[in-house]
Amino acid sequence: MELTVEQIAGLLQGKVRGDSSRKVSKLAKIEEATAGSLSFLSNLKYEPYLYTTGASAVLVGENFEPKKPCNPALIHVKDPYSALTVLLEAYNKQRLESKTGVEQPSFMASSAVMGENGFRGAFSYVGEGSVIGTGVKIFPQVYIGANVRVGNGTVLYPGARIYDNTVIGARCVIHAGVVIGSDGFGFAPQADGTYKTVPQVGNVVLEDEVSIGANTVIDCATMGSTIIRKGVKLDNLIQIAHNVEIGKNTVMAAQSGISGSTKVGENCVIAGQVGIIGHLTLANRTSIGAQSGISKSVTKEGTALFGSPAFNYKDNLRSLSVFRHLPDLQKRVEDLERKILNLPGTKGQDA
Amino acid sequence: MELTVEQIAGLLQGKVRGDSSRKVSKLAKIEEATAGSLSFLSNLKYEPYLYTTGASAVLVGENFEPKKPCNPALIHVKDPYSALTVLLEAYNKQRLESKTGVEQPSFMASSAVMGENGFRGAFSYVGEGSVIGTGVKIFPQVYIGANVRVGNGTVLYPGARIYDNTVIGARCVIHAGVVIGSDGFGFAPQADGTYKTVPQVGNVVLEDEVSIGANTVIDCATMGSTIIRKGVKLDNLIQIAHNVEIGKNTVMAAQSGISGSTKVGENCVIAGQVGIIGHLTLANRTSIGAQSGISKSVTKEGTALFGSPAFNYKDNLRSLSVFRHLPDLQKRVEDLERKILNLPGTKGQDA
Amino acid sequence: MELTVEQIAGLLQGKVRGDSSRKVSKLAKIEEATAGSLSFLSNLKYEPYLYTTGASAVLVGENFEPKKPCNPALIHVKDPYSALTVLLEAYNKQRLESKTGVEQPSFMASSAVMGENGFRGAFSYVGEGSVIGTGVKIFPQVYIGANVRVGNGTVLYPGARIYDNTVIGARCVIHAGVVIGSDGFGFAPQADGTYKTVPQVGNVVLEDEVSIGANTVIDCATMGSTIIRKGVKLDNLIQIAHNVEIGKNTVMAAQSGISGSTKVGENCVIAGQVGIIGHLTLANRTSIGAQSGISKSVTKEGTALFGSPAFNYKDNLRSLSVFRHLPDLQKRVEDLERKILNLPGTKGQDA
Residue A322: which of C119, C282, B329 has the closest Cα?
B329
Is B223 in contact with C27 (Cβ distance < 8 A)?
yes
Q: Which of residues 167-226 of A touch C (CB under 8 A)?
A: 173, 175-177, 209, 211, 213-215
Is B185 in contact with C323 (Cβ distance < 8 A)?
no
pLDDT score at A346: 59
pLDDT score at B223: 87
Q: Which residue of A has its CA nearest to B322?
A: A319
A279 assigned to active site = no
For residue A139, pLDDT over 80 is answered with yes
Describe the strand order of the beta sheet including C245-246 as a list of residue ranges.
Answer: C113-114, C131-132, C149-150, C167-168, C203-206, C225-228, C245-246, C263-264, C281-282
Q: Is B267 exposed, middle or buried (0-12, 13-18, 19+ CB in 10 A)?
A: buried
Q: What is the pLDDT of residues C242-278, one digit of tens each?
A: 999 999 999 999 999 999 999 999 999 999 999 999 9
- Smallest CA–CA distance, residue A264 to chain B, in Å, is 18
What's chain C's average pLDDT? 94
Residue B89: which of A162, A183, A194, A279 has the closest Cα?
A183
pLDDT score at C26: 84
Which chain B residues are closer than 8 Å to A234 by Cβ? none
How many Cβ contacts (< 8 angstroms) between chains B and C? 185
Mean pLDDT, residues A301-313 taken together: 97
Cis peptide before C309 (omega within 30 of 0): yes
pLDDT score at B340: 86
- Catalytic choice (A76, A175, A242, A325): A242
* CB hemisphere CA count around C276 (13 angstroms): 34
The alpha-helical segments, DSSP class H, found in C51-160 are 80-97
C265/B contact by beta carbon, under 8 A:
no
B350/A contact by beta carbon, under 8 A:
yes
Q: Where are the beta strands (DSSP E) in C34-145?
A: 37-40, 57-61, 73-77, 101-102, 107-108, 113-114, 119-120, 125-126, 131-132, 137-138, 143-144
Using alpha carbons, list the distances in angstroms from residue C222 to A36, A238, C44, C70, C265. 19, 21, 55, 64, 21
Find the helix or strand (DSSP H, E) in which A97 lies: helix A80-97
Written as one letter, the residue type at C288 is I
Q: What is the pLDDT of residues A177-229, one digit of tens each?
A: 999 999 999 999 999 999 999 899 899 999 999 999 999 999 999 988 999 99
Q: Find the CB nearest A236 among C141, C217, C224.
A: C217
pLDDT score at B345: 61
ipTM of the complex: 0.92
Report residue C94: phi and psi, to 5°.
-65, -40
Written as one letter, the residue type at B19 is D
User: What is the C-alpha separation between A294 and A279, in angstroms, rounded?
Assistant: 11
Q: Which of residues 24-83 of B touch A (CB under 8 A)?
A: 27-29, 32
Are residues C143 and C126 in contact, defined by beta-carbon separation less than 8 angstroms? no
pLDDT score at A317: 96
Q: Find the CB nearest B308 among C85, C308, C337.
A: C308
Q: What is the pLDDT of residues B64-107, one digit of tens each?
A: 999 999 999 999 999 998 888 888 888 888 889 889 999 999 99
| Residue from B157, B311, B316, B319 whose CB has the most chain C CBs within 10 Å, to mutate | B319
- Catalytic choice (C76, C175, C242, C325): C242
The conformation of residue A346, written as its DSSP 8-state character, comes to G
User: What is the C-alpha separation between B205 and B207, in angstroms, rounded?
Assistant: 6
Q: What is the pLDDT of residues B215-232, one digit of tens each?
A: 999 999 998 899 999 999
User: What is the C-alpha separation between B46 and B56, in angstroms, rounded?
Assistant: 17
Is C161 in contact with A173 (Cβ distance < 8 A)?
no
User: What is the C-alpha separation between A143 and B287, in angstroms, rounded?
Assistant: 37
C1/B contact by beta carbon, under 8 A:
no
Cα B159 off chain centre by: 18
Mean pLDDT, residues B329-345 taken together: 88
- Output C75-81 pairs: Cβ under 8 A, ≥24 positions apart: C75/C5, C75/C8, C75/C9, C75/C12, C75/C14, C75/C15, C75/C16, C76/C14, C76/C15, C76/C16, C76/C17, C77/C12, C77/C13, C77/C14, C79/C42, C80/C40, C80/C41, C80/C42, C81/C40, C81/C42
From the CB of residue B117, how many other CB atoms can be counted at a distance below 10 Å? 16
Written as one letter, the residue type at C341 is L
Is C345 in contact with B340 (Cβ distance < 8 A)?
no
Dihedral sign (CA C341, C343, C347, C350): negative
Is B342 in contact with C345 (Cβ distance < 8 A)?
yes
Q: Find the CB nearest A177 among B121, B177, B233.
A: B177
Written as one letter, the residue type at C229 is R
Phi-psi region of C91 (alpha: psi -120 to 50; beta: other; left: phi over 0): alpha
Written as one letter, the residue type at C28 is A
User: What is the C-alpha separation between C194 and C267, in angstroms, rounded?
Assistant: 41
Whole-angstrom Cα Rg for chain C: 28
Beta bridge partners of A161: A143, A179
User: What is the C-alpha separation between B44 and B41, in angstroms, rounded?
Assistant: 7
From the CB of residue B291, how many other CB atoms can be counted at a distance below 10 Å? 30
- Catalytic choice (B76, B175, B242, B325): B242
For residue A349, pLDDT over 50 is answered with no
A161/B contact by beta carbon, under 8 A:
yes
CA terminus-to-terminus distance, chain C: 84
User: What is the C-alpha separation between C29 and C40, in angstroms, rounded?
Assistant: 7
What is the SS3 string spanning A276-320?
A: ECCCCEECCCCEECCCCEECCCECCCCCEEEECCEEEHHHHHHHH
Q: Which chains touch B (3 or more CB pairs under 8 A)?
A: A, C
Report residue A312: phi and psi, to 5°.
-45, 135
- Output C330-333 pairs: Cβ under 8 A, ≥24 positions apart: C330/B322, C330/B329, C332/A333, C332/A337, C333/A333, C333/B329, C333/B332, C333/B333, C333/B336
- Smallest CA–CA distance, residue C194 to chain A, in Å, is 6
SS3 C326: helix
Using alpha carbons, list the distances in angstroms from residue C1 to A227, B221, C99. 52, 19, 15
| Distant-in-sequence, close-in-space partners of C44: CB < 8 Å, separation ≥ 6 | none
Q: Which residue of A has its CA nearest to B234?
A: A185
Query: β-pairing, B23-24 with B3-4?
Result: antiparallel
pLDDT score at B347: 53
Are residues C172 and C209 in contact, defined by beta-carbon separation less than 8 angstroms? yes
Q: Of the given ranges (A90-94, B42-46, B78-82, C182-186), which has the lowest mean pLDDT?
A: A90-94
The alpha-helical segments, DSSP class H, found in chain B are 5-12, 47-50, 80-97, 313-323, 326-342
| Domains defined along chain B, listed by start | 3-97 (3.40.1390.10), 101-314 (2.160.10.10)
User: What is the C-alpha separation between C218 and C225, in angstroms, rounded?
Assistant: 11
Residue A119: which of A107, A94, A136 has the closest Cα?
A136
Dihedral sign (CA B75, B78, B80, B86): negative
Is B217 in contact with C177 (Cβ distance < 8 A)?
yes
Percent over 70 (pLDDT), chain A: 97
A333/B contact by beta carbon, under 8 A:
yes
